[in-house]
Amino acid sequence: MTFEEAKAKLAKYNQEQLLKYYDQLSDEGKADLIAQIEQTDFSVLTAKTFENEDNKITPIKALTVAEIEKEAEEDKKVGLEYIRQGKVAILLLAGGMGTRLGSDNPKGMYNIGETKELSIFECQFQNIMKVVNEAGAYPYFFIMTSPKNDAKTRAYLKEKNYFGYDANKIKFFIQSMAPIVDMNGKVLLEDKGQIALSPNGNGGWFSSLANAGLLPIVEETGIEYFNIYAVDNVLQSIADPIFVGATVRRGYPCGAKVIKKAYPEEGLGVMCYLNNQPAVVEYYELSDELRYAKGEDGEYLYYYGVILNYLFGVKELMTILDADFPMHKAFKKCAYINENDEIVKQTEPNAYKFETLATDMVKLMNNCLPFEVTREKEFAPVKNLTGKDSVDSARELLKLNGREI
């Protein structure tokens, strides 16, 4: 791309400010900035964002813990058989920046141990190994990273010998980035020659996996379901055979692990019907009217929150490979160059990041089983350093579950 072409591309999106320092850059810096402009997908700035005003939202019932208990034995048998036959792959969403933890390392490397080193990754590997040992098989294990954390994630896991997991079954792939804008919709510069970019959300995991050339593994080895999960829950139950069996035996193309929200404002996406389709509405997109709505029994109607642990059927995933996902705007912290040419570090959110969300896939899957799990056993999120959903609370929950940390 030439300078003139870059300028024209920016003009189309009203973002010429990104060339403000062009003349001050070295030849290498100039070429690099032009390459960034060429590679950046600015169309996210004008993409359709999620609006739920026109949608009909109604409550959904989950398969409750008590109901699951009744058929747990049969479900587990089917689930373990599916895993043994390689029909279930696991997929870790680890492309996020984890800005709230304030560490420059990938979130999974964060040391959650108290008396010994115990990274979030290690905790999760320990959880998976329990299933591996029970099934006697290693599922294919896909790990999504971003350009910002890929090298460190790979190096760390290799150095740790993948915590005993079969390295031949581990496949990494990288997601794409999206530009970050200020409150006026202008893309920020992180440095004079560096556009501010952040990973474009976890919604693109399947298309990124396909773009990385990994679909042949799926097709050739007969993977039927992906169990996708977030990096930031140290109690995450991965390839849970009962969850797999319950979803398969009841014929669902999709399953979502849900917990009862602790309080209506809790920051969890809510499982519900959206225009009569099982779907997830993000907590910040649910109206107050619905958030506090109660049924005749006095219970909140929208109290099943998702914990980012889903099963997605491959057959259905293939049909939505090219689907357009709505864009969500998340208000986050981003360092930038201000009008006085100084780099400003932020302590408070100041910018919007564009993200597609894996939760939006749920409604595209035609049907989904909300599968209730016990919060204290499976949900210890690590979002912040202290307080709610923090390193501190996750440590307590690990100990409560008898884990040595």
Place of tokens 């996210």: 44
Q: How far apart are CA 257 and CA 374, in angstroms?
A: 10
Q: Is 269 in the site for ligand UTP (CB under 6 A)?
A: no
Q: How many residues does the chain have?
A: 405
Q: Is 89 in the site for ligand UTP (CB under 6 A)?
A: no
Single out the residue of 125, 128, 117, 121 nearest to residue 153, CA to CA.
121
Binding mask 293-332 toward ligand UTP (x if CB under 6 A, else -) reads ---------------x------------------------
Q: Is 148 in the site for ligand UTP (CB under 6 A)?
A: no
Q: Is 244 helix (H, G, I), strand (E, B) or coil?
A: helix
Binding segment (CB under 6 A) for ligand UTP, from list 7-15, 99-107, 209-217, 257-265: 99-107
Q: Is 281 in the site for ligand UTP (CB under 6 A)?
A: no
Question: Which residue, 303 or 310, has its beta carbon nearer to ligand UTP?
Answer: 310
Question: Which residue, 300 or 310, has its beta carbon nearer to ligand UTP?
Answer: 310
**What is the pairing mode between strands 141-145 and 88-93?**
parallel
Q: How far apart are CA 228 and CA 205, in angstroms?
A: 9
Q: Is 98 in the site for ligand UTP (CB under 6 A)?
A: yes
Binding segment (CB under 6 A) for ligand UTP, from list 88-96, 272-280, 336-344, 391-399: 88-96
The minimum distance between CB 105 and ligand UTP, in angstroms, equals 12
Q: How far apart are CA 316 and CA 362, in angstroms?
A: 10
Question: Which residue, 93 or 271, has its beta carbon nearer to ligand UTP?
Answer: 93
**How far is residue 354 from each of residues 49, 246, 321, measured CA to CA in Å?**
9, 34, 20
The minimum distance between CB 279 and ligand UTP, in angstroms, equals 18
Among 6, 10, 94, 327, binds ligand UTP (CB under 6 A): 94
Question: Which residue, 78 or 145, has its beta carbon nearer to ligand UTP?
Answer: 145
The minimum distance between CB 402 and ligand UTP, in angstroms, equals 25
Among 139, 179, 193, 201, binds ligand UTP (CB under 6 A): 201
Single out the residue of 131, 154, 132, 189 nearest to residue 343, CA to CA.
189
Q: Is 230 in the site for ligand UTP (CB under 6 A)?
A: yes
Among 52, 55, 64, 99, binds ligand UTP (CB under 6 A): 99
Maximum separation of any 2 CA atoms in the chain, in Å: 70
Among 30, 37, 95, 271, binds ligand UTP (CB under 6 A): 95
Q: What is the dihedral of CA 238, 239, 240, 245, to 10 degrees?
A: 160
Among 75, 232, 282, 389, binds ligand UTP (CB under 6 A): 232
8 A C-beta contact, residue 144 and residue 94: yes
Single out the residue of 399, 99, 92 nearest to residue 235, CA to CA.
399
Amino acid at 101: L
**How far is residue 232 from each of residues 9, 112, 160, 405, measured CA to CA in Å?**
37, 11, 19, 16
Q: Is 97 in the site for ligand UTP (CB under 6 A)?
A: yes
Question: Which residue, 15 or 124, has its beta carbon nearer to ligand UTP?
Answer: 124
- Residue of closest CB approach to ligand UTP: 96
User: Scanning residues 28 to 57, which ones bind ligand UTP (CB under 6 A)?
Assistant: none
**What is the secondary structure of 121-156 as a DSSP string?**
HHHHHHHHHHHHHHHTS---EEEEE-TTTHHHHHHH
Q: Is 179 in the site for ligand UTP (CB under 6 A)?
A: no
Footprint of ligand UTP on this chain (CB under 6 A)? Answer: 93-100, 107, 144, 175, 199-202, 230-232, 308, 355, 383
